[in-house]
Amino acid sequence: MKQRTIAQAVEVLGIGLHTGAPIKLRLEPLGVDAGIVFYREDLATSIPLSPKSVINTQMATVIGSERGSISTIEHFLSVIYAYGIDNIRVIVDGSEMPVMDGSAISFCLLLDEAGIESQEESKRVIRITRDVQVRDGDKFAKLSPSSTATFDFEIDFDHPIIGQQSNRFEFSREAFVENIARARTFGFAKDIQYLQSINLALGATLQNAIGLDDHKILNPEGLRFEDEFVKHKILDAMGDMMVSGYNILGAYSAYAGSHHLNHLLTKALLSDSKNYELVAIESLQSREFAKSFA
């Protein structure tokens, strides 16, 4: 399997979940080994994708430098993971990615419009070679060696609609589009006033998030999946693992995980070369991982 970029430039207009401001997103192809590069058009500054670039994980994954930042990159990056994109320029004219409908499906459609182009060099992936785990009390996030990519997540919310949910997702691009990409972010009405007081969630509506009061879902259309909440957590985890800059071949598992724990996990993973190998995907004994991007 070769490295991938997009076949042509595409763009879309949306709003920011936290700023509420209109944001234009443009995707452009890049050459081999260029990586995933974010660019703030309004500030004329590039931000490379790396755990070292992460500056905040309070309500979203935020990358930045002394010149500026880009928030809420995780939904988009889950699609970059699923489509196996290695090289792409991600251009925004504001401080965050557009939220679209609160899921990742709009970004899937955008990449479908752009088309996928194979490049000359071999695709490289991070293969997990030993367990790496981070904890916060009983909460944890973990990566383990595996011949396939899986995401196993459990949540437990003191809410009658959510409660305890778990889902194990065996990765393939097709399964991602069908079963994960449409899962929306969610929030509680009682938290909105506080979040907006600190300039967060200013663009949140029932058109781009699942809203809940103390007893019920506020969206008139209801849920897209019975377990949409935990599926969105898997979506987030895929995007947060892609902050490493590579697809990860291994088993991810988490209980009550978060953007913060995911960030600590990627940092812990890359802090010791004994934790992983960066390998050409053709050299893997199992060919199933390469087939999962078809």
- Cα–Cα distance list, 288 to 1, 116, 148, 281 (Å): 11, 20, 7, 10
Residues 6+ apart with CB under 8 A from 137: none
- 249 forms beta bridges with 127
The active-site residue, picked from 18, 75, 232, 259, is 259
Asked if 49 and 243 touch (Cβ cutoff 8 Å), the reply is yes
Strand, helix or coil for residue 53:
helix
Asked if 210 and 184 touch (Cβ cutoff 8 Å), the reply is yes
Active site residue 259: yes
Question: Rounded to an integer, what distance in angstroms lies between the CA atom of residue 239 and that of residue 77?
Answer: 4
Question: Rounded to an integer, what distance in angstroms lies between the CA atom of residue 73 and that of residue 95?
Answer: 10
Strand, helix or coil for residue 177:
helix
Q: How many CB atoms lie within 10 A of CB 278?
A: 12
DSSP state of 282: G
Asked if 17 and 208 touch (Cβ cutoff 8 Å), the reply is yes
Strands (E), 146-195: 150-156, 164-170, 186-188
- Cα–Cα distance list, 178 to 98, 189, 238, 269 (Å): 22, 29, 15, 29
Per-residue DSSP letters for 99-120? Answer: -TTSSSHHHHHHHHHH-EEEEE
Residue 112 tokens, joined = 């479908």
Active-site residues: which are they?
259
